[in-house]
Amino acid sequence: MKAAGRSGRVEGRAAPPRLRTAARVTAAVFGAYGFAWGLAAFGAELGALAGMAPAEAVTASSLLALVVLPVASLWAFAVPRVTVGWAVLGGGGVLLIAASQFAGMVGP
Amino acid sequence: MTAKTRKLISPALRAAMLWPHTWAGVTLGGLLMLIFFMGSLAVFASEIDRWMMPATRVGAVETGPASLDHAVLPAVEKLAAGRTVRDWYVQLPDERRPVMALQLRTETGNAGGMATSDGQLLPPVGTLGGTYFFYPLHYSLHLRAGFIGYWIVCFASVAMLAGLISGVIIHARIFKDFFTFRSWGQFRRSLLDLHNLTGVLVLPFHLMITITGIVIVLPIVLPAGVQALYGGDVRRFYDDALGNYSRPRSGIAAPLAPLDPMVAEARRLWGGGEPAVVFVYNAGDAASVVRINRALRDRISLDVQPVFFDGVTGQVLKYQRPGPVVATHRVLSGLHFAAFDHWPLRWLYLLFGLSGCMLIGTGMLYWMEKRRVAHGVKPGVGWRSVAAIACGSTSGLLIATLAMMAANRLLPAGIPSRELVEVGLFFLIWIGSAVHAAVRTRTDPPWSEQCTAVALLAAACVALNWITTGEHPIRAVASADWAVLGVDVVLALTAVAAWRVSRRLAQRPDPELSTLAKVTDHA
């Protein structure tokens, strides 16, 4: 509970600690997974566009995303404002997925 | 440690890492304990199989069967018992499993059995053993539908990775710890030291084994790339990546070509090596396919180099080598599997796997002791739940495992669904020991009582193996049955260690004397 209390003082917001904790945990679980998903999807499309064999591109981008996943998850606890954490992980994930869809349409 | 890394790991970051580290451990510690313990057992799954399946202790075989056509096909026909076989496969004997394992899918259900390397069918083994119970419990919790077990295990594994990384950040004084173990003085201190010591010394293995574990099933638990480039069709991805091949039944009957020339051709393509598994898909059909996998014992990579043959003509249909990235993926997976032939490394995998259990267990114990200081000797429901989970997932899990092995030697051979009775007993006794832990937790979980149970059960297993199979350690040495001897020795060591621990714990003073009187450190 120490970390939650500390970030509470830093943020100085009215949001109850329980809600803030829930926001951090969901950002760490779902936000980070969404971000990793976007990274794996976009990386696969990018690799395919660059001429990699599809199976190679999928494997390479998934391995990269797997390394990023636990770090992104912990970052959701380290970032001073949980809203920033959600914006970067959730927003980044959505952007990456959109970019991969776009790359999929452009690609062969 | 340079000044730069000192700045990188600021006190605020270390404080922020404490919360996820603590609560990931407290909430998922029990599950991770199960995964690490069963994974450690899985390293020696074949040896546990020999112990639990006495009928398969037929002595070591030098090579596989001389002729698949003469040894395997009659056994398949006998197992089919007149039903039409759709697909079947045989795992060929090797150094660690001196028997063939056959699995059939017929029109009316599945059948399976073991046979000696010359094709003599053995009576049903009546147990799932290490390979079919402990090992799948490690990676799928036996929850197969929708890969739900994979998802749960991988979720816990990512939490384990996050726990390892955050642990390093919180700790951030790795080198001092090589020399720090204060076993004198306070119990809580030595718990923390032990937690840090295991975490630091075995950190490379723990990181490797956790990440490679997820890597094996990565296309299933992170199918983003498969979704993007293969339209979500995992099977098509695997066909492409691993060189797999499949085709539907044609409906036209046709006989199977001889298998022995196919094995010879596969050997030629591999440039040496031994066949490990032979699959026949669409058996008896004009579209039948034979797949031959290479044995893994001569390299790290989990690349089984499958060769696909047309089952009617015997011509090679597909033999595709993976690209560099997929080959890397196979090596990472192979590091986790440890199927390579290397006995000292196998023992190290077991010991390091158990050190993971120690890391998780000491973490939970440290939390319990620290909370006790914060809340006093009258623990609340939360503390008691964690205490019961900690006890149920350590000594309770050992009790359930050993009870299953004892039941394996006690249950008569003929009872119906014998293997399911064993599994049922495992889970009932596990639940029972968790309930016992919950009920008996006052100031401490009933460690001493459960350790006594572990000691008695482990000793009983050795005795029961002797009584029911006549295989005592001296005979095992004489007949060079190292698998059974090894399991017996580990059981005996477990019995001695658990007995000593239980005696020590029974003599331990109450916690108010040992820890609460000395609230001096940074609690």
CB B106 within 8 A of CB B82: no
B81-84: Cβ within 8 A, 24+ apart: B81/B111, B83/B107, B83/B108, B83/B111, B84/B284
CB B283 within 8 A of CB B88: yes
Domain end: B71, B102, B124, which one? Answer: B124
Of the two residues B435 and B373, the one the predictor is more confident about is B435
| Cβ-defined contact of B218 to A56 (cutoff 8 Å) | no
Q: Would residue B259 count as lying in a domain?
A: no
pLDDT grade, residue B518 (50/70/90)?
A: very low
Domain end: B102, B124, B146, which one? Answer: B124
Give the amino acid at B30.
G
How many CA atoms does the CB half-sphere of B157 hold within 13 Å? 28
CB B28 within 8 A of CB B161: no
Q: Is the pLDDT of residue A9 over 90?
A: no
- A72 vs B: CB within 8 A: no
- B18 vs A: CB within 8 A: yes
Predicted pLDDT of residue B184: 56
Q: Would residue B14 count as lying in a domain?
A: yes
Nearest chain A CA: its distance from B201 CA (Å): 21
Rounded to whole angstroms, the Cα distance separating B374 from B372 reads 5
Predicted pLDDT of residue B12: 86
CB A43 within 8 A of CB A65: yes
Of A41-45, B167-171, B327-331, least confident by mean pLDDT is B167-171
Q: Which residues of B228-252 are buried (b: 16+ CB within 10 A; e: fewer)?
A: bbbeeeeebbbbbbbbbbeeeeeee
Q: Is the pLDDT of residue A83 over 90?
A: yes
- The rounded mean pLDDT for chain B is 90
Examine the domain organization and report whether B392 and B370 are in the same domain: yes
Examine the domain organization and report whether B211 and B80 are in the same domain: no
Domain spans, chain A = 17-106
- The rounded mean pLDDT for chain A is 87
Q: Would residue B401 count as lying in a domain?
A: yes
Examine the domain organization and report whether B29 and B74 are in the same domain: no
- pLDDT digits over B63-75, tens only? 666 688 999 999 9
- B232 vs A: CB within 8 A: no
- pLDDT digits over B186-211, tens only? 777 788 888 988 888 999 999 999 99
| Cβ-defined contact of A54 to B229 (cutoff 8 Å) | yes
Examine the domain organization and report whether B489 and B499 are in the same domain: yes
> In a 10 Å sphere around its CB, with 0-12 CB exposed, 13-18 middle and 19+ buried, how is residue B7 labelled?
exposed
- From chain B, pick out residues whose CB is under 8 angstroms from the CB of A48: 229
Q: Would residue B332 count as lying in a domain?
A: no
Nearest chain B CA: its distance from A95 CA (Å): 14
Mean pLDDT for the stretch of residues B444-465: 95
Q: Is the pLDDT of residue B519 over 60?
A: no
Q: Which residue of B has its CA nearest to A63?
A: B215
Domain of residue B400 covers: 3-53+136-215+340-516
Length of chain B: 523
| Cβ-defined contact of A41 to B230 (cutoff 8 Å) | no
Predicted pLDDT of residue A12: 43
Domain count, chain B: 2
Examine the domain organization and report whether B63 and B45 are in the same domain: no
| Cβ-defined contact of A77 to B226 (cutoff 8 Å) | no
Rounded to whole angstroms, the Cα distance separating B420 from B76 reads 24
Predicted pLDDT of residue B265: 96
Examine the domain organization and report whether B77 and B210 are in the same domain: no
| Cβ-defined contact of B224 to A74 (cutoff 8 Å) | no
Examine the domain organization and report whether B40 and B95 are in the same domain: no
- B220 vs A: CB within 8 A: no
Examine the domain organization and report whether B80 and B192 are in the same domain: no
Examine the domain organization and report whether B64 and B191 are in the same domain: no
Q: Would residue B369 count as lying in a domain?
A: yes
Rounded to whole angstroms, the Cα distance separating B132 from B346 reads 19
Preferred mutation among A20, A49, A62 to probe B, highest tally of B CBs within 10 A: A62
- pLDDT digits over B463-504, tens only? 999 999 998 888 888 888 899 999 999 999 999 999 999 999
CB B277 within 8 A of CB B89: yes
- From chain B, pick out residues whose CB is under 8 angstroms from the CB of A2: 15, 18-19
- A22 vs B: CB within 8 A: no
The ipTM is 0.89
| Cβ-defined contact of B162 to A38 (cutoff 8 Å) | no
Examine the domain organization and report whether B80 and B36 are in the same domain: no
- pLDDT digits over B217-272, tens only? 999 999 999 999 999 999 999 999 999 999 999 999 999 999 999 999 999 999 98
- B206 vs A: CB within 8 A: no
| Cβ-defined contact of B219 to A67 (cutoff 8 Å) | no
In B40-69, the residues whose Cβ lies within 8 Å of chain A are: none
CB B304 within 8 A of CB B297: no
Q: Is the pLDDT of residue B432 over 60?
A: yes
